[in-house]
Amino acid sequence: MIKFEQKNRAIKKIKLLFGLFCFFLISVVSAQQDAQYTQYMYNTVSVNPAYAGSRGQISVAALHRSQWIGLEGAPQTQTFNVHSPIGYRGVGLGLSIVNDKIGPTSETNFDIDFSYTIYTSTEGRLSFGLKASANLLDIRFSELNQYTQDQILQQDIDNRLSPNIGAGIYYHTQKFYAGLSVPRFLETSHFDEASLSTAKEQMNFYFITGYVWDLNSSLKFKPAVLTKVVSGAPLQMDMSVNFMFSEKFILGGAYRWDAAFSGLAGFQISNKFLIGIAYDREVTELGNAAFNDGSFEVVLRYDFISTKGNLKSPRFF
C-alpha cells in the first residue's frame, strides 16, 4: 500500500511538471525569470526604480514583445510605464505595468517607483530608487492537454497576489550612465499544492551601462551593456551598439551571450516622440527549429518636453 501511494505520488509529480512545462520553458532555455527585453535601453525604469524621473520631464513608454514566433504558448510581454520628476527637488515617481504570458500562465506586475537624486557635479546625477510591486498570477491548468484527468490540474490559480519590493541606484551625465538594481527582493514560492512541486522566484541582479560618443555633428555612437545575474543560472549579458543619425534615425545591433543576435532600428519622429523596433534570432538549438521565426519587439515613447523657446535634443538613453 505504501509503495502504491509513493508510485502514485511520483506519477502526479511528473504530470504536474509536464503540465507546467510552458511556464518553465523560458527559464530552462535562457535562464529567464523576469520579462526579457532587447530594447532595454528604452525601458530602464522597469528594471531599475532609480531611473524614475531621470529624463527631466514626464516620460511615457509602451512596449510589446512576441518571443519565439510560431511556437505555441511562447512568451508574450507588454509593458507600460510613466515616470516623472515631481515638485520637490530631486524626487521622481513612476508607475509600471508588466504583463507576461507564457503558455497557460499569465503574470501581471504593478510597480510604483520612487527615486531621490543628488547632484554630484555640474552634469553628474546619482539617484537612489525603491520599488513596491504587486504580482498577480493566473495558471489555467484546464487549458492543458491531459491524457488522464488529475484533480490537482483542474484547479486553476486565479489572481494569486504576491507583494514584493526592490531597489536600485543609477548614475548619469549627458553622455554616460550606469545602474545597479534588484527589482524584486522577496523570493516567492509558487505551485506548492499538495507539496508536489515548488517553483521559487530568484532575485535578479541587473547592471546596466552605456556611453554616447559624438562622432561628428550629425552622428552619435552608443555602446551599451546589460548584465543579469540569477542564482543557479548562467550569466546573461546583452551587448548592443546603436548609431543615431541627424538626431532622427537609429540603427544598431545586439548580441545576447550564447542566446541571440538582434537588429534594432528607431525613428525619432520629433524631439518628443520615439518609435523603436527589434528582431531577435536565436543561436541556440531552439533557434534552428522550423517552428521558431524569431522574436519581435516594438516600443513607443513620448516625452512631454517643455522647451521654453530652446529646442532640446532627444537624449540617447
Report the pLDDT value the prediction gives residue 196, as an integer from 0 to 100: 47
Report the pLDDT value the prediction gives residue 34, as an integer from 0 to 100: 76
| Section 283-287 average pLDDT | 70
Considering only residues 139 and 288, tell me which one the structure prediction assigns the higher pLDDT.
139
Report the pLDDT value the prediction gives residue 290, as an integer from 0 to 100: 58
> Given a cut of 60, is residue 30 above it in pLDDT?
no
Range of the domain at 40: 1-304
Considering only residues 4 and 204, tell me which one the structure prediction assigns the higher pLDDT.
204
| Section 258-270 average pLDDT | 93
10 inside domain: yes
Report the pLDDT value the prediction gives residue 286, as an integer from 0 to 100: 65
| Section 174-185 average pLDDT | 95
4 inside domain: yes
Bridge pairing between strands 157-172 and 125-139: antiparallel
The pLDDT-based confidence of 282 (bands split at 50, 70, 90) is confident
38 inside domain: yes
Report the pLDDT value the prediction gives residue 144, as an integer from 0 to 100: 65
315 inside domain: no
Residue-wise pLDDT for 60-104, tens only, equals 999 999 988 888 788 899 999 999 999 778 999 999 999 999 888
Show the DSSP H helices in the chain as ranges: 2-19, 21-30
Q: What CATH number does residue 67 fall under?
A: 2.40.160.40
CB within 8 Å of 6: residues ≥ 6 apart = none
Residue-wise pLDDT for 146-161, tens only, equals 555 555 555 667 778 8
124 inside domain: yes
> Given a cut of 70, is residue 39 above it in pLDDT?
yes
213 inside domain: yes
The half-sphere exposure of 68 on its side-chain side, counting CA atoms within 13 A, is: 25
> Given a cut of 80, is residue 20 above it in pLDDT?
no
CA gap 107, 24 in Å, rounded: 13
Averaged pLDDT score across all residues of the chain: 82
Rounded to whole angstroms, what are the CA distances from 207 to 5, 19, 29, 31, 194? 48, 34, 21, 16, 38
Report the pLDDT value the prediction gives residue 289, as an integer from 0 to 100: 62
246 inside domain: yes
103 inside domain: yes
Bridge pairing between strands 199-200 and 176-182: unpaired
CA gap 21, 16 in Å, rounded: 9
Report the pLDDT value the prediction gives residue 54, as an integer from 0 to 100: 93
> Given a cut of 90, is residue 255 above it in pLDDT?
yes
Report the pLDDT value the prediction gives residue 4, as an integer from 0 to 100: 44
Alpha carbon 143 to chain centroid distance? 26
CA gap 117, 94 in Å, rounded: 14
Bridge pairing between strands 236-245 and 249-256: antiparallel
- Number of domains within the chain: 1
Considering only residues 285 and 89, tell me which one the structure prediction assigns the higher pLDDT.
89
Percent of the chain surpassing pLDDT 70: 75
List, as own/partner pairs, every contact residues 105-108 make where C-beta atoms lie below 8 angstroms and the sequence separation is at least 24, other chains included: 105/20, 105/22, 105/23, 105/137, 105/138, 105/139, 105/140, 106/137, 106/138, 106/140, 107/135, 107/136, 107/137, 107/138, 108/135, 108/136
Minimal CA–CA distance to 152: which of 106, 105, 97, 196?
196
Considering only residues 7 and 173, tell me which one the structure prediction assigns the higher pLDDT.
173
State the cell numbers at 107: 503574470
Claim: this prediction has a pTM higher than 0.85: no
| Section 167-190 average pLDDT | 91
| Section 102-116 average pLDDT | 92
